């Protein structure tokens, strides 16, 4: 999802000498394969968006996979970027790197000030390690490696598997299937009270290009909207039809709130452009072919 959005944005901005690989073409966990790729292609700039990702169920079920795979992916790419004198690298982390009960909105300096959310701790630890590896190469070798921490993303190319997807695509699929099957209820995990922030992936891509062109600091930069809503409010927005919503309260909520402080990004001159309602409508039309009434 993120890689495709980055390619679209770069092409729109006039960059056409792009080198990309799918996970089927290049296994980034394979150190030798990554080294051979860098030796052959010699990229000048690297945007590291590749990762093993998923929602609460996937993160909590495949804990070893999420930690190992993400560590291998980022270690190989970042180290080879150093070995082949890449001019600039942008590492994409995640807002889950911040403490579960961090003050809201979350500032970049809150990193490592408290315990993580247990359900996605392996993924968060891997992303923290990637961020720190970029910092270390910058400090020890003077590399222009920067890091950005996106909020929750959605958009074209998202994962709609109910067991492994994030909350927004999962809700889209649940409501779509309930509508198609004539069911009056949609089950939603938790109480509906946690608050979440959502950013369209095309806005993320625009922010990444902005950072590549205008930022070269050691500190990570949050990428988000600076706005959030409850899961219940999100469900009502996605639903947008008459019907009952049942919250399965014994299921885990996850972090109570996870709103990013985006003042650093605003100072750098960038703000999101796609509203949540507009983005959800676009995605629903693209993925489910506009079957809503």
Residues with Cβ < 8 Å from 266, sequence gap 6 or more?
A: 226
Q: How far apart are CA 270 and CA 210, in angstroms?
A: 7
Supply φ then ψ for residue 165, to 5 degrees.
-90, 170
Please state whether 182 falls in left (phi above 0), alpha (psi between -120 and 50) or beta: left
123 is a catalytic site residue: yes
Question: Binding site for substrate: which residues?
Answer: 174, 189, 196, 253
For the packed helices 63-83 and 31-41, what is the interaxial angle rounded to 10 degrees? 30
Question: Binding site for NADP(+): which residues?
Answer: 92-95, 127, 150-153, 166
Could you tell me the two tokens for 23? 């996970």
Taking the alpha carbons at both ends of the chain, their separation in whole angstroms is 28
Question: Binding site: which residues?
Answer: 92-95, 127, 150-153, 166, 174, 189, 196, 253
Answer yes or no: are the C-beta atoms of 277 and 237 closer than 8 Å: yes
How open is the CA angle 240-156-44, to the nearest 5 degrees? 150
Where does the chain have alpha helices with state H? 2-12, 31-41, 56-61, 63-83, 121-141, 167-181, 201-214, 231-239, 263-267, 276-288
Please state whether 85 falls in left (phi above 0), alpha (psi between -120 and 50) or beta: left
Of 15, 68, 123, 154, which one is the catalytic site residue? 123
| Residue 101 C-beta-side C-alpha neighbours within 13 Å | 2
Beta bridge partners of residue 222, listed in sequence order: 149
Could you tell me the two tokens for 65? 């996979």
Name the residues annotated as catalytic.
123
């Amino acid at each position: 999802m993120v890689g495709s959005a980055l390619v679209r944005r770069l092409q729109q901005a006039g960059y056409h000498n792009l080198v990309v690989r799918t996970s089927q073409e290049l296994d980034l966990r394979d150190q030798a394969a990554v080294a051979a790729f860098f030796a052959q292609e010699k990229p000048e700039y690297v945007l590291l968006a590749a990762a093993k990702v998923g929602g609460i169920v996937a993160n909590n079920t495949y804990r070893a996979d999420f930690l190992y795979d993400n560590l291998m992916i980022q270690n190989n790419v970042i180290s080879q970027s150093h070995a082949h004198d890449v001019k600039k690298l942008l590492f994409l982390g995640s807002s889950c790197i911040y403490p579960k009960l961090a003050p809201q909105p979350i500032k970049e300096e809150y990193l490592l000030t408290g315990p993580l959310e247990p359900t996605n701790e392996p993924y968060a630890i891997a992303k923290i390690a990637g961020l720190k590896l970029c910092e270390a190469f910058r400090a020890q070798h003077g590399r222009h490696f920067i890091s950005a921490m996106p909020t929750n993303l959605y958009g074209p190319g998202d994962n709609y598997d109910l067991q492994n997807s994030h909350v927004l695509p999962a809700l889209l699929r649940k409501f779509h299937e309930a509508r198609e099957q004539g069911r009056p209820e949609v089950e939603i995990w938790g109480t509906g009270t946690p608050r979440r922030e959502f950013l369209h992936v095309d806005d993320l891509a625009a922010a990444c290009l902005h950072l590549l062109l205008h930022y070269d600091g050691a500190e990570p930069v949050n990428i988000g909207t600076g706005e959030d809503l409850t899961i219940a409010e999100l469900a009502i927005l996605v639903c947008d039809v008459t019907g009952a919503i049942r919250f399965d309260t014994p299921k885990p909520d996850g972090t109570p709130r996870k709103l990013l402080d985006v003042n650093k990004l605003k100072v750098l001159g960038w703000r999101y452009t796609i509203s949540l309602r507009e983005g959800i409508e676009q995605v629903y039309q693209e993925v489910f072919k506009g079957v809503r009434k």
